[in-house]
């Protein structure tokens, strides 16, 4: 986890994204006091499924801290909707098919699988405030205990404010 004071550009905070319940909204419309944005490579893969389930199991704890949660991948809206339904996720998923958010948060990285190099989403999580300030960030995330770590850091962040 790295503390950063990056600023997400206003145009990205206002950029309409496609949500799994069929509507569009912007990050600025989704944020309570804070917004937890977690990026994952692909819906319905083991790591992404576990990470989403972990955030789901702690969702009410995040909400109690005025922190909304949203998951983002470059999967199609239909795939995201199926993923959300399959695991009964209480938060929205974003279908970032044009990778607008992925590029704004700099999570598209060169990856290597079975000797083949390709560009893909590096599992990452960010906590942003209403002004678009990135208060906390995690890159190259390992799924085990990640949601709990993020929740603990958000608790500390809210205690400080």
Please tell me the pTM assigned to this model: 0.91
So what's the pLDDT on residue 2? Answer: 45
DSSP string for 11-41: HHHHS-EEBTTS-EE-HHHH-SSEEEEEE-S
67 is catalytic: no
Closest by CA to 132, choosing from 26, 58, 41, is 26
CB atoms within 10 A of CB 59: 19
> Is residue 161 domain-resident?
no
Say how many domains are in the chain: 1
> Is residue 159 domain-resident?
no
User: Which structural domain, as residue segments, surrounds residue 133?
Assistant: 2-153
> Is residue 36 domain-resident?
yes
> Is residue 160 domain-resident?
no
DSSP-derived pairing of the beta strands 34-39 and 17-18? unpaired
> Is residue 158 domain-resident?
no
Angle between helices 46-57 and 146-160 (to 10 degrees): 40
So what's the pLDDT on residue 132? Answer: 87
List average pLDDT for each run of 10 residues in the chain, which is 161 residues long: 58 87 89 94 94 97 97 96 96 95 90 80 93 91 96 91 68
> Is residue 38 domain-resident?
yes
So what's the pLDDT on residue 7? Answer: 67
> Is residue 70 domain-resident?
yes
| DSSP letter, residue 122 | P
> Is residue 125 domain-resident?
yes
CATH number at residue 128: 3.40.30.10
So what's the pLDDT on residue 110? Answer: 80
Out of 36, 48, 67, 102, the active site residue is 48
């Amino acid at each position: 986890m790295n503390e950063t004071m990056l600023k997400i550009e206003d145009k990205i905070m206002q950029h309409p994204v496609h949500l799994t319940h069929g509507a569009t909204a912007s990050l600025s419309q989704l944020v309570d006091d804070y917004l937890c944005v977690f990026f994952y490579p692909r819906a319905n893969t083991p790591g992404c499924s576990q990470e989403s389930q972990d955030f789901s199991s702690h969702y009410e704890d995040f909400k109690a801290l005025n922190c909304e949660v949203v998951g983002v991948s470059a999967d199609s809206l239909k795939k995201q909707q199926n993923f959300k339904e399959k695991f009964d996720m209480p938060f929205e998923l974003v279908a970032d098919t044009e990778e607008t958010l992925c590029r704004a948060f700099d999570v598209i990285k060169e990856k290597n699988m079975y000797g083949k190099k390709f560009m893909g989403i590096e599992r990452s999580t960010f906590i942003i405030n209403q002004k678009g300030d990135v208060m906390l960030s995690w890159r190259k995330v390992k799924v085990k205990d990640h949601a709990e770590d993020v929740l603990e850091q958000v608790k500390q962040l809210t205690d400080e404010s």
